[in-house]
Amino acid sequence: MSGFPWPAFAGNLAVAACAALAVMLVTFAIALAKGVHRVVDAAWGIAFTAVAAATYAASAGHGDGGRRLLVAAATAVWGLRLAAHIIRRGRGHGEDPRYARMLAGAPGSGTAYAFRVIYLLQGALVWLVSLPVQAAMYQPVPLGPADAVGGLLWAVGLAFEGIGDHQLARFRADPAGRGRIMDRGLWAWTRHPNYFGDFLLWWGLFTVACGMWQSAVVSVVSPLAMSYLLIRGSGKRLLEQHMAQRPGYAAYTARTSGFFPLPPRRDPGRSGGTGGTGGTGGTGGTGGTGGTGGTGGTGGRG
């Protein structure tokens, strides 16, 4: 068995950075043409897909072929599903209030400021969070237990995210749900099933990268960063601040786990249909609130 191909992997770090930056540059151009920056939320998943595709091509001859294909496919399935969901959800809407507020107080050129704090930041986070995807594809070792465990975590995480999004979309489409907060299905077990799904699938991809200690060490920052952003950073925190004024939300938080899925606590006064927190929002530096969306520096999720 050969060792970890450090020189080739180092070169891939530059390849991945270029792929992420290219997606953000195209997205920035689209945003300027449309006059809205909310389009960047969909670019989060697309940028990961671009990084995975570029890494798959660059890692040929260095990493195990089966793992390369599985990791690239897993990343693309997650990223493209997420992008499609955000595009569907945002169709017909104007600018996201988060970006409007951010740019209202921008120093100097608002366009240059937006490029720096929205697009460059999100591109940098894509590069950082994608480290397990990159490192896993450069492992020359055959598929093994770490791949099986990581694949299982990824699948469960994707299911949580996808089912949570679907349940929330159906709830929002029902006129009977207006003025109420989602507390059915997965939302009865955790106030943030989509955030939990993201958390789980990125730990799964990191586990796949643990087939060699070198790739594990170089990529552990990714799930740690995502965990912080999802649990303690802008995602969950800002979303719950936004939801705190909703009628019935205090009772919902009293009976429902804040993040990790747990059986609902007994609530004798429950009247039904008054829980939930509206899905997962952007989980990076300036994140947002809502359904599942970009989980990067500025990605809003509903």
pLDDT at 188 (0 to 100):
97
Q: How many CB atoms lie within 10 A of CB 80?
A: 14
* Range of lowest pLDDT (97-106, 117-126, 144-153): 97-106
Within a domain: 233:
yes
Within a domain: 153:
yes
Query: How confident is residue 266, by pLDDT bands cut at 50, 70 and 90?
Result: confident
Q: Of 84-98, 132-146, 252-266, give the range with the top mean pLDDT.
A: 132-146
Within a domain: 203:
yes
Query: How confident is residue 61, by pLDDT bands cut at 50, 70 and 90?
Result: very high
Within a domain: 283:
no
pLDDT at 178 (0 to 100):
81
Task: Tell me the average pLDDT across 16-25.
Answer: 99
pLDDT at 235 (0 to 100):
62
* Run of H or E including 168: helix 145-173
Q: Which amino acid is at 4?
A: F
Whole-number Cα distances in Å, 234 to 20, 36, 264, 276: 22, 21, 25, 18
> Tokens 């697309």 label which residue?
46
201-242 pLDDT tens trace: 999 999 999 999 999 999 999 999 999 999 887 667 777 877
d(CA 227, CA 83): 21
Q: What is the 3-state secondary structure (H, E, C) of 281-299?
A: CCCCCCCCCCCCCCCCCCC
Taken in order 96, 101, 102, 106, is the CA torsion positive or negative? Answer: positive
pLDDT at 301 (0 to 100):
53
pLDDT at 236 (0 to 100):
74
> Tokens 């586990």 label which residue?
207
Tokens representing 53?
A: 């595709």
Question: 272 pLDDT exceeds 60?
Answer: no
Task: Tell me the average pLDDT across 132-144.
Answer: 99
HSE-CB for 131 with a 13 A CA cutoff: 20
Question: 26 pLDDT exceeds 70?
Answer: yes
SS3 (DSSP) at 87: helix
Percentage of the residues of the chain whose pLDDT score is greater than 90:
70
Within a domain: 69:
yes
Within a domain: 179:
yes
Query: How confident is residue 44, by pLDDT bands cut at 50, 70 and 90?
Result: very high
Buried residues in 94-104 as b, exposed as e (16+ CB within 10 A): eebebbeebbe
Q: Which one is predicted more confidently, 19 or 174? A: 19
Q: How many domains does the chain fold into?
A: 1
Tally of residues, the chain: 302
SS3 (DSSP) at 181: strand
Find the domain containing 241 and state its range: 6-255
Question: 299 pLDDT exceeds 90?
Answer: no
Query: Rounded to 5 degrees, what are φ and ψ at 210?
Result: -90, 10
Within a domain: 261:
no
Contact call for residues 145 and 203 (beta carbons, < 8 A)? no
Query: Rounded to 5 degrees, what are φ and ψ at 263?
Result: -60, 140
Query: How confident is residue 247, by pLDDT bands cut at 50, 70 and 90?
Result: confident
Question: 252 pLDDT exceeds 90?
Answer: yes
Within a domain: 263:
no
d(CA 244, CA 262): 21
Task: Tell me the average pLDDT of the chain.
Answer: 88
Cα angle 220, 47, 129 (rounded to 5 degrees) comes to: 10
Tokens representing 238?
A: 């800002």
pLDDT at 180 (0 to 100):
86
Task: Tell me the average pLDDT across 243-248.
Answer: 83
Whole-number Cα distances in Å, 177 to 87, 149, 168, 249, 293: 22, 38, 10, 14, 21
Task: Tell me the average pLDDT across 58-74.
Answer: 98
The number of helix segments (H) and strand segments (E) in the chain equals: 13, 0
170-202 pLDDT tens trace: 998 999 878 788 999 999 999 999 999 999 999
